[in-house]
Chain A
Amino acid sequence: MAFGTREAPSDADLPWSVRRSLPRGSRAVFEGKMLNYKGNWKGSVVSSVLEPVLFLAAMGISLGTLVDQGGRLDQGVDYLVFLAPGLLAATAMQTATFESTYPIMGALKWHKTFEGILSTPVKVRDLVTGHLLFILFRLVTTLAVFLAVMGAFGALEMPLGLLALPAAVLTGLAFAAPVSAFAAWVQNDAGFAALLRFGIVPMFLFSGTFFPVDQLPAVLQPVAYATPLWHGVSLTRGLSVGQLDPLLAMVNVGYLAVLLLVGVWLARRQFAKRLVI
């Protein structure tokens, strides 16, 4: 084909998108995000190795020695073993949230790169899917490193513990989708400060990452049980310490899956509201 060809339009000449081979639009969006990521992957690799090592060493071993002197946890495991899956799930939450806030607002509002992409055959839903594919990549790589460090610290029950990886990845995705919708909903990044202050940080501290939720005052316990991070931590921990309650695990997976699906629906809707006007 060439510029301004005078042939009548024929479907056979049209690119993929027109012939409804759907996944390619989201794949191109994913490729675009990877091309951006290429510029700063070194920093993110260093931090994804260093952070778990530091956290597990400082809190798991040092603080853990104190905790373990005070009495055993319900699961009868060392504090390090208890803490590690909590941090794994919390890292999933943080990575997914970070990647779904500023980058989304930037592409939507500041640089308008989404607008440029939508001038091509790519559809709004491809933007959402492509973004989530990239989050999936970030989660799998970051959390696999974390899991390896956990193994090195002896904080992983094998082989069931390996399933803590998909559990934590699901936790991260369950955050990424609704947070992306949120990022497309707020008008400026002040909304992100509020999200961190009233959502992410309290969840990180009180949703079972550092101590069992039943240590909380009775009135606050239902709130903690209702948070997505608690479900992520519960599932991840059940797998990594090798003490899985199948019924609870099903509730956890169901909760996170529903959050992911509702999040995808909200994100598509909100992206369209901002972009297709």
Chain B
Amino acid sequence: MAAELLGGTSEPSVSVEDMTEPASLTQDEAVVVTDRPGVDDLIWARGLRKNFGDFTAVDGIDISVRRGEAFGFLGPNGAGKSSTMRMIGAVSPATDGRLQILGRDPATDGPAIRARLGVVPQTDNLDQELTVRENLLIYGRYFGIPRAQIRARADELLDFVQLTDRADDLVEPLSGGMKRRLTIARSLINEPELLLLDEPTTGLDPQARHALWDRLFRLKQRGVTLVLTTHYMDEAEQLCDRLVVMDKGRIAAEGAPAELIGTYSTREVLELRFATGENESHADGLADLAERIEVLPDRLLLYTDDGDGAATAVVERGLRPASVLVRRSSLEDVFLRLTGRSLVE
């Protein structure tokens, strides 16, 4: 029950042996993952598309999210992340393509799917006129859960998101971080198997972000499958086992954070800062030191597997940059390489 799960006891009461395959699926069918969803695919999409009039928000994407995974959609604003999330949430009909959520078709089984999902929308849509606790109580009713059960669960969830002492306050005066935590608590009222989080920490201060990450991490440990969108690279690296980078409605890259860095960037990045206006003129002379060199208005980025070696080579060539920094490649480098540096809005 919720008590032991929320209380954080680590007793593995839910074991792998409990997993039973639906009888209709033979082993052969489960192996062919490209054509039809496997047993562990909670989300499975092929050629998924969403148009709004003439505008194509999602342009034929393939996704498989497996049970227990933390899966991320990364991308700039307008990349199609939220549209994808709304289709996965069985609230927005797909224009084209095939989509299965929890083994069901959202076009026909919307309510059945939504009964087992938790949704944290991009903008909080809590009932401002109700108290913190009332928001949980009524939300549970929308799932048809008996009142006594919701009350018990609400207490546990308020404890889980550290809002117990605000339980009987109205939502309106709460801080952004508290509202976000309440929204997360609300999304867990039906003990979902799959939690969808659309930009869960956008607009929050660092303390609130870390507090949220901590809660999400604990949920993941308890076996909840997490799917989140973000444009924060640190968030994706912290939380996601696997992610896709979306750009202009398409998937630009897919993999684990480390894989993506390995594929699309070098191990390290050497950042050189010369005097104003001189950065570009030095670029050609240093190009051979790196696999790739990027010229920014205020600095040069040398992508290389050996940052220190490259830095030494720069100094040996008699150059004296104002500052030298060797750092590890991050998801942000991958992101910017794949989606470009220009604003798309």
Contact = CB atoms under 8 A, between A and B. Distances in A.
Interface of A: 1-9, 14-18, 24-25, 28-29, 31-32, 35-36, 39, 111-113, 115-123, 275-277
11 contacts: A2-B2, A2-B13, A2-B191, A3-B219, A3-B223, A8-B39, A28-B142, A32-B138, A116-B125, A119-B117, A120-B143
Nearest to A34: B138
A91 B127 CA distance: 28
A3 B129 contact: no
A39 to B, nearest CB: 6
Interface in B80-115: 89, 91-93, 102-104, 110-112, 114-115
A16 B116 CA distance: 12
A39 B131 CA distance: 11
A3 B130 contact: no
Given A32-B141, A275-B91, 14 more contacts: A4-B67, A4-B223, A6-B14, A6-B223, A9-B104, A14-B116, A28-B142, A35-B137, A39-B129, A116-B125, A120-B142, A121-B111, A121-B142, A276-B93
A277 B95 CA distance: 10
Contacts of B121: 112, 115-116, 119
Q: Which among A4, A29, A111 has the greatest number of chain B C-beta atoms within 10 A?
A: A4
A277 B92 contact: yes
B111 A4 contact: no
A123 B224 contact: no
Interface in B10-25: 13-16, 18-22
Select the residue from A2, A14, A117 with max chain B CB neighbours within 10 A: A2
A268 B19 CA distance: 40
B203 to A, nearest CB: 16
A107 to B, nearest CB: 9
Shortest 5 CB-CB distances between A and B: which pairs?
Answer: A4-B223, A120-B142, A116-B125, A16-B144, A121-B111
A9 B5 contact: no
B103 A121 contact: no
Interface string B36-63: 0001000000000000100000000000
B1 A2 contact: yes
B interface majority secondary structure: loop
B144 A28 contact: yes
Interface in B137-164: 137-139, 141-145
Contacts of B248: none
Nearest to A116: B125
A119 B90 CA distance: 8
A119 B194 CA distance: 13
A106 to B, nearest CB: 9
Interface residues of B, number: 59
Contacts of A5: 14, 18, 193, 223
B138 A28 contact: yes
B123 A121 contact: no
Given A8-B19, A117-B142, A276-B92, A32 B191 contact: no
Given A17-B111, A36-B129, A120-B142, A4 B68 contact: yes
A15 B2 contact: no
A147 to B, nearest CB: 30
Contacts of B30: none
Contacts of A1: 191
Nearest to B194: A4
A15 B140 CA distance: 11
Interface in B213-256: 219, 222-225
A29 B93 CA distance: 23
A15 B143 contact: yes
B48 to A, nearest CB: 16
A36 B130 contact: yes
A7 B5 contact: no
Contacts of A39: 129
B126 interface: yes
Given A4-B67, A28-B138, A36-B129, A121 B114 contact: yes
Contacts of B321: none
Contacts of B128: 111
B43 to A, nearest CB: 14
A226 B147 CA distance: 47
B127 A277 contact: no
A119 B19 contact: no
B134 interface: yes
Contacts of B134: 35
Contacts of A118: 91
B192 interface: yes
Contacts of A14: 112, 115-116
Nearest to A17: B111
A210 to B, nearest CB: 36
Contact of B89 (A3, A117, A119): A119
A141 to B, nearest CB: 20
B52 A277 contact: yes
A112 B190 CA distance: 20
B119 interface: yes
A15 B19 contact: no
A31 B141 contact: yes
A239 B2 CA distance: 56
B219 A113 contact: no
B70 to A, nearest CB: 12
A24 B111 CA distance: 13
A121 B112 contact: yes
A123 B112 CA distance: 11
Contacts of A112: 121, 123, 125
A123 B111 contact: yes
A15 B224 CA distance: 19
Contacts of B39: 8
Contacts of B92: 276-277
